[in-house]
Each structure stands twice: as structure tokens, then as C-alpha cells.
Amino acid sequence: MNLTKLKIIIAREFMSRAKTKTFLLSTLLTPLFIIGITIIPILITTWDSEEEVKSYAVIDSTGRLIHSLTQSSPKKYFDATLQSLDELKELVKSEAIAGIIILDNDVYNGNTDPELIYQTGGISVFGDIRKELNKVWIESHLRAENLSPEIQELLNKRLNIKTSKLTESGSTKEENQFASFGLAYVMAFTIYMALFGYGAIIMRSVLEEKTSRIVEIIISSVKPIELMIGKVLGVGMLGLVQLITWVVMYTGISAIAAPLYLLFAGKQMAETVASIPAEAAVPFTLPELGFGYILLFLIYYLLGYIMYSSLFAAVGSAADAESDVQHFMFPIMIFIIIPMILLSKVATEPNSVFAIASSIFPLFSPILMVTRLGVTNVPWWEVTLSIVLMLAMTFFLIWIAARIYRVGILMYGKKPTYKELAKWIMYK
Amino acid sequence: MPVLSIQSVLKRFGDFVAVNAVSFDVEPCRIFGILGPNGAGKTSTLRMINNITAPDEGIITIKGEPVSENSQKWIGYLPEERGLYKKMKVGEQLLYLSRLKGLSRKEAKTSIDYWLDRFEASTWANKEITDLSKGMQQKIQFIATIAHDPEICIFDEPFSGLDPINSELLKDVIIELKSNGKTIIFATHRMEQVEQMCDDICLFNNGKVILKGELNTVKQSFGKNTVNISFSGEASFLNELENVRINNKSTNFAEIRLLDGANSQLILRKALDAVEVYSYELVQPTLNEIFISTVQADNKLES
């Protein structure tokens, strides 16, 4: 391996892409896009509830529920016990009110369910109404039984779980389980995207050099394996730069996200936040990325990238045109997609034998081990074993890929069969 | 000492023997033509000389040293299928390729500037290849081949696809390179260029060398076995001649190759009977004729 030439190749592969607008835009816009699709739905729901001015007419012939109901959300419910049902129905039709809720003795005694007459509405709206009616109804019965307020409060109370993870050093660290799940998913997904995205870049680049025929000129100066490795490393550096930019952006955004959000959503938000459970606010309490985790993530990211992009380079060299590659891509894609299918099982039961075994399998490790590292404490020997196995696999795959590559780049015409690829590997 | 020596080289692809026990030497400061029909093993041989592939048997030495990474930088190689990075600027591209050949950034720049100027292409340095016309791309391709000042220039089918202006330019450059002490090897099946430029030739067929030597010696060895005749009248008498092959026939001219048993005097007599003869000359065969007859004889031998 001639290091001077390798450096020249890496520099070209890196610079020729880093200078493009596509790279700049995708690096800067991807995180904004992801944040966008997380924040916007939440913003929309909060704004939506602000807009919700139409209320429900409540006919309560028992007179025992209406008071608490209108008190709990005066904007949403109003007492219409004295109004005629037909009149109210007209109001619903003209969309002046959202609907009519009918409560009577049978409902109060729990014999029938309350009736809601509406024209437009959705599951979430009905769910809210059901919850509120239930609360008022139970409270009313509890009051009627003359239970002490303490007991009433007790009956209304719901326990939540506070999770803390036992770290290697033995200290417990309070951690939001939901958040670390999210993080593990994001990290696994980042690797998944990188394997595919950068794999495709490598493949297309090999194919381009082959079809433009410049490859023969280059390999009259350098060894094919030097060109292949230079390409893989040059593009890999590009990915690394992108990743580091994202980590920096993530850190920055998590610092300013909460205040920024409050600024957007304003006071309204503060009210809402108080009434919803803590989990729902998760996107704004971004979990901190530990240094150890980042380091391991980078190792898995890089080794995974090198393993798969070498294979993609071999695919590119064996094909003549982009339309030919599907056939060879398929077996590689399978190994990237399977861990994504296993992902949720591994994330929910990260210490099962199944999770351990599949995360140590080197072709799955980049995605599945990163997932496990995010949600649980993986014993050090498992991490070490998987890294050793991945290193061995990486060298093996580079070797295989380089053998195919050196023959493939000079072969034009007929699409080779797998048998022929096997022969190429054996050529002297 | 030959600058390039190929000794008993054999190259297999699976069961197919692409190059079979080939040996030849190239002396310095010569223009050496490798001829042969398509698929004769020319490109496979050039690739081995360039250390792109390795021979299964035999040895190739350049300046007395076995082919290696080191010998690659002494060679400038223009492959048969041309190609450059389409989306890369001319200057950067030439710099990249020269640096891969071992030039420092500074050396490469000086040389690239010289050649861009020599080809009147200095203003293209910041253009991408896709923005250039085909003729311009061809010039850049030559520069890419010779910018690192190689001692041996190898051109595979150098004139194919060239417009007449670039053809002339390349011829001038090749002669300039030779006068600067470089050795030039070119592979082609275009005989007229070989006849005009080559000092030595080597003819490939079916992976083997079937004829080699100095061009003039080779031609002389075939003797004066060709008749050039110009005439006026009905040319059908040519069809009645026996043991000959008619090359290059037109209404009032024919090049007649005498095969075994043909008598040149008999042909003259028949011509006089049939047409009015203006000139009649017994000459050396053209290279084209040598090429065809040698390859055909070899193919007959094989089958």
C-alpha cells in the first residue's frame, strides 16, 4: 500500500464531494428536517386546541354531573339542560356548537353509556370527552359515598415509574427510559441511513469510473485495492464530517430547544405542559450523549460503513450500468434490513439471548449493538467480542471485495454470474 | 539494452489463453508498433506492461527491472477506451493524474502548464470536461498521458476517433517525443500510420507473436511479390488470373499479390491481351498486405 498515493486519492474523493452544494445542504438541512418533523406535529396540536372554540351542550337531567363538568373545562361544556333537544340539534347542524351530550339517571347509575350527538369530530376528541366524563362521574359517586378527601385523592392518583440505570461504575443515573429509547432508535437509524446512502455513493462512483473508462488510467498508476480503499476512506471521512456536524448541532439545539419552543408556543404551551404527563415533553428534554457512547457509536459506524461500502464497491465494479446493480445489491441489502426488522425486539428486550446473539453477529452489530448500547448496559466482553468480530469481518470483506473489484473494473459486456464472481476471487 | 523486454509471457483468463508465450524487446528511442486483429492479445499485453494485470508465466522487465509499482511511473499509458472524470476541472484532473504518477504538486503544475500551452489549451484549465468538445477532450487526454514526462509512452489505438487536426497534432507530438529520447509503443490495426511512423513492428494473432522485426527488414523479407498495374479498358481479365489475390482494385488500377506458383510475366501477357497497359511494376508488399497474408496463413495453420 503506497501511502502517498492513498492520501492523494482520499483527498480527491473527499474534496470533490465536500465542495458540492448537495453535501452542504444535506449536512445542514437533514437535522433541521428531522427536528421539523418532530416539532411541527406537536406545535400543530397545541395550536389546534387553542382554535377549538366550539363547545358541547350538556343535557343533564340528573343535575349531578353538570356542575363539575362545566367547572373542569368551562370553555368546552355548557349547561343546556333547559333547552330543547331539537333546537340544539339545529345548532349542531349549523356548526354553532360541536355536539350534544345527554346524561340521565341511567347514565348516572352506570346502566347505560352517555350519548354524544355530533356532526364532526375525531377519535382523540371523543377520547378526551370520555376521560373527562369518567372523572366527573367517579368523583360524583365518591362524593355521594361521603369518602374522606384523602381517600378520594388516593383513588384518583396514578403512579408513574421513575427509571434509573445502573452504570458500570455502580452509581445509578436517573434517566428517562423513553428518551434513551428514542436516542437508540435515532442512532440505529442514522447508521442504517449511512450504510445505504454512502454505500450507494461508493457504488455509483465505482460505476462512474468504470463506465467513463478513467479507471484504466488510474490503475496504470496505483493498485486497484489502493483506489478502492482510498475511495472508501475518502467518502467515509465525508460521512464523519457530516456526523460530527450533526453531533455539534444536536448539542446546540438541545441547549436552546426548550426556550425556543416556549417562545414559539407561548403561554398556551405552559398551560398544556402542566396538564400532560412528562413523557409527552420528551423531544425537548434531549438525552445527553455520553462520551463513551459517542466513541462506541463512531467505532460501530465506521466499521459498519467500511464493511458494507467495500461490498458496494465490488457490486459497482461488477456491473456495467446502474440498471444492472439491483441483482447484486439484493443480498447486501438483506443484511442491512434484517437488523432494522429486529430493532424493536432488541430494544425492548436488550438482554435476551436473542438480542445478545444478533447484536454480536458482525453484519448486524453496527445497528443492533448501537441500539443495545443506547437502552441498556452491555457487558464489556460483548462489546469487545463484537468489535473483534467486526474487525475480522471487515478485513475479510475488504479482501473479497478487492479481489472482485480488480477484475470487475476491467470487465465489460456480459453481466457476470455469482459463479463467475467466485472465479474472479480465485484469479491470481 | 532494450528499454522493455518481454520474455515468454503467458496470460490466462479462466480457460482462455489471451497471451501465449510472447517474447519481444523494445529498444530505446524507437517507435514500436504492436499490430494484430481485434482480440489478438494486444491490450492484454499492454496491461501487463503497465502492471495493471500480472502475467501467469514469464517476465516483463522495464529498464532491466521487473515490472512493479516503481516502473509504472516511467510509463505514460493511453488506453484504447479513453476516459476522464466528467465533473472535474481540467487543471485539477491533470494535477491528480500526474501526482498519482509520483510528481510533486509543483513539478506537476509546471509540466501541465507547458503542455496546456503546447496544445493551445491554457484557457480550459478551469473548465469541467463535460464542457469541452470531443476534440478538446482528446487533447486533454494526451496531456494526461504524457504530463509526467514518461520515458515510455504507450498508446493503444491512438488515432481511433481523432479528428484530422488532432491526428496530425498527435503525430507531431509522437515525433517530438521520439526526438526527445522517449520510446513510443503503439498498438493498432491501422497499417498506414504504422507504415509512416514505426521503426519496428510486432504482429499478434490469437495471443501469439507471429512476426516481428524492423519494419524495413520485415518488408524486404517478403520480397518483391506484388504487382502494381495501371491500365485502361475492361478489367474483367483480373478475375481470370490464378494463384493471385487482388488488393486495392479500381477502374484503372490494381494491386496484385502473387501467391505461390503465380508468374508475373504471365500476368503481364494476359494484361496486354486484354487492356492497354500504362504501367507495370513489381514491388514490395504493403504492410497491409503483409498483415493480411500472415494472419490468414497463421489462422490456416491453427485450424
Asked if the model's pLDDT at residue A114 lies above 80, the reply is yes
**Residue B85 in contact with partner chain A when CB distance is under 8 A:** yes
Residues of B in contact with A227 (CB under 8 A): none
For A332, residues 6+ apart whose C-beta sits below 8 A from its C-beta are A199, A308, A311, A312, A315
Question: Which residue of chain B is at minimal alpha-carbon distance from A428?
Answer: B56
pLDDT number for residue A281: 43
pLDDT number for residue B239: 82
Give the A window 384-423 contacts with B, CB below 8 Å: 410, 423
Subunit contact A8:B75, Cβ cutoff 8 A: no
- Return the closest-CA partner of residue B112 out of B83, B134, B145: B145
Residues of A in contact with B69 (CB under 8 A): 2, 223
Question: Averaged over A87-96, what is the pLDDT?
Answer: 84
Among candidates B56, B84, B144 on the partner chain, residue whose Cβ is nearest the Cβ of A212: B84
Task: Sheet with B253-258: list strands edge to edge.
Answer: B244-250, B253-258, B226-232, B276-283
- State pLDDT tens for residues A182-198: 788 888 988 999 999 99
Residue B8, classed as helix, strand or coil, is strand
Asked if the model's pLDDT at residue A286 lies above 60, the reply is no
Residues of A in contact with B97 (CB under 8 A): 217-218, 221
**Band of pLDDT at residue A282, cut at 50, 70 and 90:** very low
B52 within 8 A of B81, measured Cβ to Cβ: no
Q: How far apart are CA B60 and CA A320, in angstroms?
A: 31
Task: Sheet with A77-79: list strands edge to edge.
Answer: A77-79, A56-60, A99-103, A115-118
For A65, residues 6+ apart whose C-beta sits below 8 A from its C-beta are A58, A103, A108, A133, A136, A137, A140
φ, ψ of residue A57 in degrees (nearest 5): -85, 130
- State pLDDT tens for residues A117-126: 887 766 677 8
A167 within 8 A of A377, measured Cβ to Cβ: yes
Please tell me the pTM assigned to this model: 0.77
Grid cell for residue B95 = 494535477
Q: How buried is residue B179: exposed, middle or buried, by Cβ count under 10 Å (0-12/13-18/19+)? A: exposed
Among candidates A12, A216, A218 on the partner chain, residue whose Cβ is nearest the Cβ of B81: A216
Q: What average pLDDT is seen over chain A?
A: 83
Question: Averaged over A149-154, what is the pLDDT?
Answer: 79
Subunit contact B51:A214, Cβ cutoff 8 A: no
Among candidates B52, B73, B82 on the partner chain, residue whose Cβ is nearest the Cβ of A213: B82
Asked if the model's pLDDT at residue A11 lies above 80, the reply is yes
- Spell A291-326 as b/e; 16+ CB within 10 A means b: eebeebbebbbbbbbbbbbbbbbbbbbbbbeeebbe
pLDDT number for residue A278: 42
Question: Which residue of chain B is at minimal alpha-carbon distance from A7?
Answer: B100
Choose the weakest-confidence range: A273-282, A310-319, B117-126: A273-282
Give the B window 113-142 contacts with A, CB below 8 Å: none
Question: Which residue of chain A is at minimal alpha-carbon distance from B73?
Answer: A221
- What is the per-residue DSSP string for A73-132? -TTTEEE-TTS-HHHHHHHHHTTSSSEEEEE-HHHHTTSSPPEEEESS--HHHHHHHHHH
pLDDT number for residue B213: 92
Given 3-state DSSP classes, what are the helix, strand and coil percentages for chain B, each rounded to the nearest 5? Answer: 40, 30, 30
- Return the closest-CA partner of residue B105 out of B120, B121, B94: B94
Q: How far apart are CA B21 and CA B290, in angstroms?
A: 22
Percent of chain A whose pLDDT exceeds 70: 84
Grid cell for residue A99 = 355536539
For B141, residues 6+ apart whose C-beta sits below 8 A from its C-beta are B78, B82, B84
B199 within 8 A of B30, measured Cβ to Cβ: yes
pLDDT digits (tens), chain B, 303 positions = 899 999 999 998 878 899 999 999 999 999 999 998 888 999 999 999 999 989 999 999 999 999 998 999 999 999 988 889 998 999 999 999 999 999 999 999 999 999 999 888 899 999 999 999 888 888 899 999 999 999 999 999 888 878 888 888 888 889 999 999 999 998 988 888 888 889 999 999 999 999 999 998 888 888 888 888 999 888 888 888 888 888 778 888 888 888 877 788 888 888 888 888 999 988 888 888 888 888 888 888 877
Rg (CA), chain B: 23
Residues of A in contact with B88 (CB under 8 A): 16
Residues of A in contact with B56 (CB under 8 A): 428
Among candidates A9, A209, A213 on the partner chain, residue whose Cβ is nearest the Cβ of B79: A213
Residues of B in contact with A410 (CB under 8 A): 47, 52-53
**Band of pLDDT at residue A174, cut at 50, 70 and 90:** low
Percent of chain A whose pLDDT exceeds 90: 34
What would the 3-class secondary structure string for B38-87 be? Answer: CCCCHHHHHHHHCCCCCCCEEEEEECCEECCHHHHCCEEEECCCCCCCCC
**Residue A109 in contact with partner chain B when CB distance is under 8 A:** no
Question: Which residue of chain A is at minimal alpha-carbon distance from B97?
Answer: A218
Predicted interface score ipTM higher than 0.95: no
Subunit contact A220:B75, Cβ cutoff 8 A: yes
Asked if the model's pLDDT at residue A274 lies above 50, the reply is no
**Residue B88 in contact with partner chain A when CB distance is under 8 A:** yes
Asked if the model's pLDDT at residue A255 lies above 90, the reply is no
Mutate to test the interface with B, among A9, A15, A209, A217 (most CBs of B within 10 A): A217
Residues of A in contact with B72 (CB under 8 A): 220-221
**Residue A260 in contact with partner chain B when CB distance is under 8 A:** no
Residue A159, classed as helix, strand or coil, is coil
DSSP conformation class of A414:
S
Residues of B in contact with A231 (CB under 8 A): none
Give the A window 122-181 contacts with B, CB below 8 Å: none
**Band of pLDDT at residue A45, cut at 50, 70 and 90:** low
Subunit contact A220:B72, Cβ cutoff 8 A: yes
- What is the per-residue DSSP string for B213-270? EEHHHHHHHT-S-EEEEEEES-GGGGGG-SSEEEEEEETTEEEEEE-TT--HHHHHHH
Dihedral of alpha carbons A337, A338, A344, A347, sign: negative
Choose the weakest-confidence range: A34-43, A168-177, B170-179: A168-177
Asked if the model's pLDDT at residue A265 lies above 70, the reply is no
Residue A184, classed as helix, strand or coil, is helix
Residue A170, classed as helix, strand or coil, is coil
Subunit contact A218:B73, Cβ cutoff 8 A: no
B28 within 8 A of B3, measured Cβ to Cβ: yes
Q: How far apart are CA B210 and CA B206, in angstroms?
A: 9
pLDDT number for residue A175: 57
- State pLDDT tens for residues A47-62: 655 555 678 888 888 8
- Return the closest-CA partner of residue A319 out of A400, A206, A219, A215: A206
Q: What angle do CA B170, B171, B172 make, to 5 degrees?
A: 90
Among candidates A9, A12, A220 on the partner chain, residue whose Cβ is nearest the Cβ of B77: A220
Rg (CA), chain A: 30
Domain ranges of chain A: 56-156, 177-426
pLDDT number for residue A53: 62
Strand pairing report for B152-156 and B183-188: parallel
**Residue A8 in contact with partner chain B when CB distance is under 8 A:** yes
Mutate to test the interface with A, among B17, B50, B100, B101 (most CBs of A within 10 A): B100
Give the B window 41-60 contacts with A, CB below 8 Å: 47, 50-54, 56
- A-B CB pairs within 8 A amount to 60
Q: Which fold has domain A56-156?
A: D-Maltodextrin-Binding Protein; domain 2 (3.40.190)
φ, ψ of residue A346 in degrees (nearest 5): -65, -35
